A and B are shown apart, each in its own frame.
Chain A
Amino acid sequence: MSVTTETTYSSASQAMPIGTPRHHIIIFAVLLGLLLIAPFLLYPVFIMKILCFALFASALNLLLGFGGLLSFGHAAFFGSASYVTAHAAKVWGLTPEVSILLGTGSAAILGLLIGALAIRRQGIYFAMVTLAFAQMVFFFALQAPFTGGEDGIQAVPRGNLFGVLSLADDRTLYFVVLAIVFGGLLAIYRIIHSPFGQVLKAIRDNEPRSISLGYKVNRYKLAVFVMSAALAGLAGSTKSLVFQLASLTDVYWTMSGEVVLMTLLGGMGTIFGPFVGAAVIVTMQNYFASFGAWVTILQGTIFVISVLLFREGIVGVLSKWIKKPL
């Protein structure tokens, strides 16, 4: 824990005065380049899934890694946004961009409601409060007539972007998803490196001191909670258009656990860690699917190994090696 904190702390002190570090720009550029050619080499739907979960994990990381708040109920935002988007696109017949905005917006509102209550508690109590609210959202999704119970909302039309560009083709949709997710990642990067982000890190590292410096700590916490919820919602909305479905899996508590796993595995408090974590977990779920029961066993083993051997996560360890924040 202390090591992670230190690395990020030093990242802050380095990053602020000289602007964006060059190696971050290079990594972003390389990542974008790879993602642009990826659909021609790999299966587009699979990479879209990685992208959606990467954004989801990065949203959680914004809260956990930089705000120091462990939410165990992020599936509530991811799932409710995917239901809203699916419903808007299927029943109301809205265009994809409006549906996604509605989904994201509803996740933000939900984040405001849950966050306002949850941030009053700290540590394990914060995690339990978020989990409790997430369970309420799960029960709502289970009972409400429009969610289709355990069948979920199926056959969601992908529609036409801005009413003109058809997204039925996987590659076309891929580039739209890439734009959304990359935009989300850049927004998170910007938030982390803004003065707001610096205050967040100060609160994370020493809350009483931040209070004594005159910061209204709860406002910062609430703000980052809502941002994180909205970005998780953006990921959920996008996902529901990619898979053309919204189901109980998205709001179930295991989804909250999975995204925490992705974040920890990739590297909590790093910029690129959640992306790597999401890619590893989704790849395992997909390509190891033919190994049957081994998927969950492998997932567990990898988690245990990462906790025992490299607690900073994959990217955290890399960052320690090259002695640069990633």
Chain B
Amino acid sequence: MNFKTATLAGLAAMLMTGSAMAVDVKLGVLNDRSGIYADLSGEGSVVAARMAIEDFDAASKGINVEVISADHQNKPDVASTIARQWYDEEGVDAIVDVPTSSAALAVSEITREKGKIFLNSGAASTDLTGAQCAPGTAHWTYDTYALANGTGRAMVESGYKNWYFLTADYAFGHSLEANTSKVVEETGGSVVGSVRHPFPGTDFSSFLLQAQASGADVIGLANAGGDTVNSIKQAAEFGITQAGQALAGLLIFITDVHALGLETAQGLVLTEAFYWDLNDDTREWSARFSEEMGGSKPTMVHAGVYSAVTHYLKGVEAADSKETEAVMDWMKSNPSQDQVFGEGSLREDGRHLHDMYLFQVKSPAESAGDWDYYKLLSTIPAEVAFMPLEDGGCALVE
């Protein structure tokens, strides 16, 4: 209803001022609405995109924004068909979100081919702004480097020097381990060992016992999704964190912590781009978000969608058109500013830079209630949070 009233009010305002400008923009939110990433992206991303449009007051500025959404079921071929159809037939101007790296890379390629804009919030692969970067692709919220780097650096600096890795045995796990090891060693820590578990894994007990026996300060979980959740559960059964070793999740979201419960997840250290309880702005925004989402708090992916759509709409307003090159140029040459991420900027390779935060999961005693999960350990400034431009290998960078 709100959106409708806002649109109508906007339309009325536009008629009264007789603004000459009118741009019709169509955004397609493409993500997982039925599978494992449905909670961290899903409908919440659509809500976040709508909130961005309302808050920007797009209608009164002569920009008519329509939002459509679809479920890519985490399958790159479904994502690719929908993306093509949206660009070719539905007249979609920008695709938003897209978790799952393989689906995101596929959409990025199609976006390049069709000369449109892709605002990614949900995927983790650094390739989106690295080897496979594209002129219309912006990678907004996080990537594996930012998470590994953030957690690795900040933990060593707070005295957790000796690391042991529990790594999912495939390319993704290996690169997560390699990225983290590098930063751990650079900041003066050391890696005392690592063990690889099959992907997808179910029984982590023997690996966790090895990690426990290693005597390392930190056990780094270089895995994702169900593997991370299961290894945290089993680590809790062995009482690993209670015994003094820290558990560092390298790719974990607040929805995972919510699903695990504080009893199991307490003590876990992780990096995120956003937490609802950071400051007054994020609290106010998150309260509005949870009102529309039946009480659940936003994830960093939702926040990223909000931030990206806001910056995109500013670009459309400034360029007075939705033409890809003009909008992307404006977006890359002007700093972003919004309620959720505060200040940020979009680098020439499409990487969005903003502060990242290192959190620790509270114990049940520390938590004041629902969704009160994290305490802030440190803030990682935008300049060091992301992979340096020259290391990405993006062809757009001369």
Interfacial residues, chain A to chain B (CB-CB below 8 A): 43, 45-46, 49, 139, 142-143, 145, 148-152, 154-155, 170, 239, 243-245, 247-250, 285-286, 289-296
Contacts and interface: CB of A to CB of B under 8 A. Distances in A.
B293 interface: no
B71 A247 contact: no
Given A292-B42, A293-B34, A295-B34, A249 B76 contact: yes
B384 interface: no
B71 A239 contact: no
A292 B72 CA distance: 9
Given A245-B76, A293-B33, A293-B34, A150 B102 contact: yes
A296 B72 CA distance: 12
Interface stretch (B8-16, B153-161, B165-173, B352-360): B165-173
Contact of B89 (A43, A149, A150): A43
A139 B171 CA distance: 12
Interface string B325-341: 00000000000000000
Given A149-B170, A150-B171, A286-B85, 19 more contacts: A43-B88, A43-B89, A45-B85, A143-B169, A143-B170, A151-B101, A151-B102, A152-B105, A154-B102, A154-B109, A154-B132, A243-B76, A245-B102, A249-B102, A286-B78, A286-B82, A292-B42, A293-B34, A296-B34
A243 B69 CA distance: 21
B109 A285 contact: no
Of residues B77, B85, B127, which shows the largest number of chain A Cβ atoms within 10 Å of its Cβ? B77
A247 to B, nearest CB: 4
A155 B102 contact: no
21 contacts: A49-B77, A142-B199, A149-B170, A151-B101, A151-B127, A239-B77, A243-B81, A243-B106, A244-B109, A245-B77, A247-B76, A247-B77, A248-B102, A249-B74, A250-B77, A286-B81, A290-B69, A292-B42, A292-B43, A294-B34, A295-B73
Interface in B68-101: 68-78, 80-82, 84-85, 88-89, 101
Of residues B33, B38, B74, which shows the largest number of chain A Cβ atoms within 10 Å of its Cβ? B33
B141 interface: no
Contacts of B85: 43, 45-46, 286
**A-B complex: 5 closest residue pairs judged by Cβ atoms:** A149-B171, A292-B33, A293-B34, A289-B70, A152-B102
Contact of A289 (B76, B82, B199): B82
B125 interface: yes
- Grouping DSSP codes into helix (H, G, I), strand (E, B) and loop, the B interface class, with mixed when no group exceeds half, is helix
A286 B83 CA distance: 11
B170 A142 contact: yes
A51 to B, nearest CB: 13
A305 B171 CA distance: 41
Interface string B13-49: 0000000000000000000011000100011000000
A194 B275 CA distance: 66
Interface string B101-141: 11001100100000000000000010100001000000000
A62 B42 CA distance: 39
Contacts of A49: 77, 81
Contacts of B170: 142-143, 149-150
Contacts of B74: 249
A258 B102 CA distance: 20
B178 to A, nearest CB: 13
A154 B101 CA distance: 11
A99 B194 CA distance: 40
Given A45-B81, A243-B77, A249-B76, A290 B105 contact: no
A155 B109 CA distance: 6
Contacts of A43: 84-85, 88-89
A188 to B, nearest CB: 23
